[in-house]
Amino acid sequence: MAKDLTLFCVTLCAVFLSTGLSGLFLKKRRSFPLDRPNARSLHGRIVPQIGGVAILSSILILSSMVKVWIPVLFPVAAFLGLISFVDDYISLSVAIRLAAQFLAASFFVTIGFSDIELWVRCLSILGLIWGMNLFNFMDGADGLATGMALIGFGAYALAAQTEGDRDLALVSLLVSGSAGGFLVFNWPPAKAFLGDAGSIPLGFLAGAIGVEGVRRGVWGWEFPFMVFLPFIGDATITLFRRIFRGEIPWQAHRSHYYQRLIQTGWNHRTLVLWAYALMVVCAVAALAFPNLSRSGQAVVFSGSVLVGISVACHIDSRWNKFIRGAK
């Protein structure tokens, strides 16, 4: 009971601290990078990018006050936040960004996972780099990436607490609660954005905590993938489609599924409400997955794939009709 109360208090503190810091930083918006709309944006006004600083500050402050132990997790996230904050200001080159991400992922895996096989460590590094950029790619609509963090890390916390891993539950709640606090200002129409200083560290934390949970035996490899399936599916499919079309993968664009829905008439609020519903369904399926029989797991997995394919096909059909109508 005392442990449950501690988790509840940590979550509330994270929400209120992040909300308070976001409000404070919003008043000092001129000290932060500004997102100026361009031809590839889904918004039409200048918006301050304060979310990353507010969320990371909340996490770092509270993590220093509660006893949790995952080696170098938050220092690496802070390093990524700092590099990305500079990038929000001056647009660093792709080479510098990837080098920083590789350095951060390699350092975290080397320090935290020295007891696992080399090939697993190499895959983990690549997975962490992809997770950072995945979150960044999907941070293009009001409340979308922030809501994914709230729900996804909330699912991590619930799974960890169920398995009796207090550290993993606390860490996940710090991130989930801090994201939830910022969502007050990121809810459509957004008064503030995450910026790369928010999306890159959140992507890293999603992958890092996911891998740490596997290493501790709290969940299997499939769990993080199922929790973040809506983001993984959209970003991965879109990336490969752009590569096949001969486009430069890291260039800004508006061809993600969520972007196409907005371009064909959905507003940001409708989009995030449907996206949240899908995220919750995926999180529930992931939480239930280990308790199912093999046949039950096969049904859930195939059902998830079929739903994903159906949603993608529906959006593609809607987009094609929109393009034909615009000609």
* pTM attached to this predicted model: 0.94
* Positions of the chain with pLDDT lower than 50, given as ranges: none
- Which residue's structure tokens are 């660093």? 92
pLDDT score, position 4: 67
Q: How far is Cα 265 from Cα 162, in angstroms, rounded to an integer?
A: 41
Return the DSSP state at 327: -
For residue 294 the two structure tokens come to 């093999």
pLDDT score, position 210: 95
pLDDT digits (tens, 9 = 90+) for 128-142: 999 999 999 999 899
pLDDT score, position 195: 94
For residue 269 the two structure tokens come to 């609020």
For 83, 108, 116, 125, 226, the CA distances from 119, given in Å and listed in that order, are 28, 15, 9, 10, 23
Under a CB-based contact definition with an 8 Å cutoff, are residues 189 and 268 in contact? yes
Q: How far is Cα 228 from Cα 175, in angstroms, rounded to an integer?
A: 15
Of 214, 156, 169, 211, the C-alpha closest to 69 is 169
pLDDT score, position 9: 87
Phi and psi torsions of 250, nearest 5°: -90, 0
pLDDT digits (tens, 9 = 90+) for 54-102: 999 999 999 988 877 787 899 999 999 999 999 999 989 999 999 999 9
Domain ranges of the chain: 2-326
